[in-house]
Structure 1
Amino acid sequence: MSEQREFLAQWSVSQGNLRRFLEDLALRPLDDDAQRTAGRAAAAAAVEETFGINLDDFTLGVDSVGGAFATAGRGKITLPDPEIPQDAEAAAFFDVDNTLIQGSSLILLAKGLFRRHFITLSELAPALWKQIRYRVSGSENAADIAEGREQALAVVKGKSVAELKAACKEIVDQQMLRKSYQDTVELAAMHIAAGQQVWLVSATPVQIGQALAEQLGFTGALGTVAEEEDGKFTGRLVGDILHGPGKQHAVAALAALQQLDLSKCTAYSDSINDLPMLEMVGVPVAINPDRKLRRHAKAQGWAIRDFRSVRRVVRAGAAPVAVGVAGAWWWLRRKRR
């Protein structure tokens, strides 16, 4: 298995230059078509056996991870602590929204960009409406996610990459960190203390994930990567949006590049949409789970952690409080009459 992980790591690094990889590492030069066919078949078999996904999905993950690394400027955002023994084959993967921070990182980003005049109210309104629908329904909508992706790409097209990165750092410092679940941060700290890598994996723009990871001392972040050209956003994606299966593809690619043993890894999420990522690791954990994920986690015997104790109390007392307020209002109004 270690040889297979090394093979996939080499293939992932040299993806896009398959001929050189095959000539240098796999087999003697044949004609171009034969080399491409043989190399793709070997990589496809290794990917299928190791991760249970097809090569095209794995390649999307490689593109997403490579784009995230390029955006960060280096393979790891936080260098390992030399005082902590490293378990090079283990890592923990954390979702962001409602797992690490309360609410939607995308909404916080949109509000922050609006205040900084990076986007307009007409560009912000659709995202706010989708968040309201999510709050009411309690579940993510695939159509909303796809539409939101197109809207987000249209919003940033032609805008400055440097300005967005600077804004993301400020928004994380001033708004997001105070919304983080301290219990989740402590869980991540336990993994770091054990010498494991800690990665954020989120559909949110990669710049937000990287700013969060840097502030919290995590290894790095994978997120949705918007293509850049000459310091501006092109309006296209690198790889795929990191949602649902997209997270699975990116984690598989990261595992190949970092030569991680997924059976030693842990993943944390609140959403049933992240089931592909949760099921590919040795230790899946549901944090603040939605109804469907809670049901699935209980059936599978997974650990469940709910850090929304205040929220539960508020929900439990919401109806009596509402009745009391309504009664007081009615009594005061009658008395005035």
Structure 2
Amino acid sequence: MNLALFDLDNTLIAGDSDTEWPKFLIKRGILDPEHHARQNDYFYEQYKAGTLNILEFLDFQLAPLARFSRPELDALHAAYMEEHIKPIIPLKARELVAAHQAQGDVVMIITATNRFITGPIARELGVEHLIAVELEQDAAGNYTGKPTGTPSFQEGKITRLNEWLAARGETLQSYTDTFFYSDSRNDLPLLSIVSKPVAVDPDDTLRAHAEAHGWPVISLRG
């Protein structure tokens, strides 16, 4: 049996769900566009450079979730999916996921975006297993705007994956082949330990690394 891991943003979707969500909230008049644009640009430059302070970013990105009840957030997310996410899921991405499932592989999305955003996207793609940033909740089940546990970012993806595998009584070596599909230099730690790393529409750093190491480079766009 094989294990097929997929990054989400700019890999299985032709965009970034963490960026599309605030765009959606701005369109609804929920976020101030100028303030958010400044902060988002600040963090995005860090992300591209591989220097993102994930905890600082999460404090910024998750704060709006604390302003709404879960039913309110779920209603917003349903509209967000229709308007911002479904239009940017490439057919090739759906087909690649389905191909792994058809041959009996265990398929997982492993992402640095939070579970509230990504859970419905994983369901839309038909993917059962998801590792994402987990969110703190209060006694009523509403989000506090804070993360909990190890963020699944850079080396944190390895930590979280190993925890998931250990809970199943497995390691990466339990699988014949382990695939990881990603677009980002930030995923080089995990890409470097699977048996079948694949660069998908990669950034310049990942493309250069993939070419130097003979990794496949593919596109799911178009």
Q: Return the TM-score normalized by structure 1.
A: 0.58
1:256 alignment partner in structure 2? 166
Distance (Å, rounded) in 2 between the aligned partners of 1:165 and 1:118: 15
> Cα distance 1:250–1:185, how it changes in 2: closer, same or farther (>3 A)?
same
> What secondary structure sits across from 1:96 in the alignment?
coil
For residue 23 of structure 2, what is the amino acid of its counterpart?
K
Q: CA deviation at 1:125?
A: 2.8
The one-character-per-residue Cα deviations of 1:152-209 (angstroms, maximum 9, x if unpaired) are 2333335323322332233123321211232222111111101122211111121222
1:139/1:122 Cα in 2 relative to 1: closer, same or farther (>3 Å)?
closer
User: What's the % identity of the aligned pairs?
Assistant: 31
Q: What's the CA shift for 1:138? A: 9.0
Q: Distance in 1 between matches of 2:193 and 2:136?
A: 28
Give the counterpart of 1:227 among 128, 136, 148. 136
Q: Give the 5 Å matches for 1:136-285.
A: 139-143=48-52, 145-157=54-66, 159-229=68-138, 230-263=140-173, 264-285=177-198
Closer/same/farther in 2, CA of residues 214 and 140 from structure 1, 3 Å limit? farther
Q: Do the aligned residues in 2 keep the contact of 1:94 with 1:269 (CA within 8 Å)? A: yes
Greater fraction of residues in helix: 1
- AA paired with 1:269? S
Name the residue aligned to 1:318.
none
* CA–CA separation in structure 1 for the residues paired with 2:190 and 2:166: 15
- Larger RCO: Structure 1 or Structure 2 (Cα < 8 Å, ≥ 6 residues apart)? 2
Instruction: Specify the code of the residue in structure 1 equivalent to 2:26.
Output: F
Letter in 1 for 2:209: H
CA distance in 2, matches of 1:165, 1:223: 18
Q: Which amino acid aligns with 2:215?
A: W
**Following TM superposition, where does structure 1 have runs of at least 4 consecutive aligned residues deviating by more than 4 angstroms?**
none
**Is 1:95 matched up with 2:95?**
no
1:107 maps to what in 2? 19
Q: What is the deviation of 1:275?
A: 1.2
CA contact (8 A) 1:244 1:274 kept: yes
In the alignment, residue 116 of structure 2 is paired with which amino acid?
Q
Give the structure 2 partner of residue 329 of structure 1: none
| CA distance in 1: counterparts of 2:75 and 2:193, whole angstroms | 34
Bigger fraction of residues in strand: 2
Computing the radius of gyration over CA atoms, which structure comes out larger, 1 or 2?
Answer: 1
Rounded Cα–Cα distance in structure 2 between residues aligned with 1:126 and 1:266: 36
Unpaired runs of 5+ in structure 1?
A: 1-86, 311-337
